[in-house]
Amino acid sequence: MKEQILNHLNSPGQLEKLYRTNKTSFRQEFSSLYPQLSGNVLADFWHERLNYESDAISWGSRKEFLFVVLLAFVAGLLVKIPSFFPVDEEYFFPRNISFLVLPFLTAYFAWRSNLSGKKIAFVCAVILVCLLYINFLPNNNQSDTLILACIHLPLLLWVVLGVSFSGNELRDYKKRLSFLRFNGDLAVMSAMLVIAGGIMTAITIGLFSLIGFSIEKFYFEYVVAFGLPAVPIVATYLTQSNPQLVNKVSPVIAKLFSPLVLAMLVVYLGAIIFSGKDPYNDREFLLLFNLLLIGVMALIFFSVAESSTKSTSSSAIWILLLLSVVTVVVNGIALSAITFRISEWGITPNRLAVLGGNFLILVHLLLVTVMLFKATIRKAAVTEVGRAIAVYLPVYFVWTVIVVFLFPLIFGFR
Amino acid symbol at 281: N
Separation CA 258–CA 250 (nearest Å): 12
Q: Average model confidence (pLDDT) for the chain?
A: 86
pLDDT in tens, 193-212: 999 999 999 999 999 999 98
CA 306 to each of CA 180, 184, 246, 248, 254: distance values in angstroms, whole numbers, following the listed order: 9, 9, 12, 10, 8
> Who has greater pLDDT, 41 or 149?
149
The pLDDT value recorded for residue 243 is: 74
What does the alpha-carbon distance between residue 284 and residue 272 come to, in Å, rounded to a whole number?
A: 14
The pLDDT value recorded for residue 309 is 58
Length of the chain: 414
Longest dimension (CA), the chain: 70
- pLDDT range class, residue 4, cuts 50, 70, 90: confident
Please give the pLDDT value at position 57: 66
Average the pLDDT over each of 104-113, 135-144, 274-283, 321-330 and give the range with the smallest value. Answer: 274-283
pLDDT given for residue 268 in this prediction: 84
- Running DSSP on this structure, what letter comes out for residue 57? P
Name the strand (E) or helix (H) holding 140.
Answer: none
More confident residue, 46 or 216: 216
Highest mean pLDDT out of 5-19, 70-84, 301-315, 369-383:
70-84
Q: Which residue has the higher pLDDT, 288 or 135?
A: 135
Report domain extents, the chain.
Answer: 2-51, 62-244, 248-410
User: What's the CA angle centered on 282, arms 277 and 284, to 5 degrees?
Assistant: 105
Mean pLDDT of 259-269: 88
pLDDT value at 54 more than 60: no
Q: For residue range 275-329, list pLDDT tens digits in order.
A: 777 778 777 888 888 888 888 888 888 888 776 655 566 788 888 889 999 999 9
DSSP string, 200-269: HHHHHHHHHHHTT---HHHIIIIIIHHHHHHHHHHHHHHHHH-GGGTTTHHHHHHHHHHHHHHHHHHHHH
- Whether pLDDT at 128 is above 90: yes
**Lowest pLDDT segment from 123-127, 148-152, 172-176:** 172-176
Euclidean distance between CA atoms 366 and 356, whole angstroms: 16
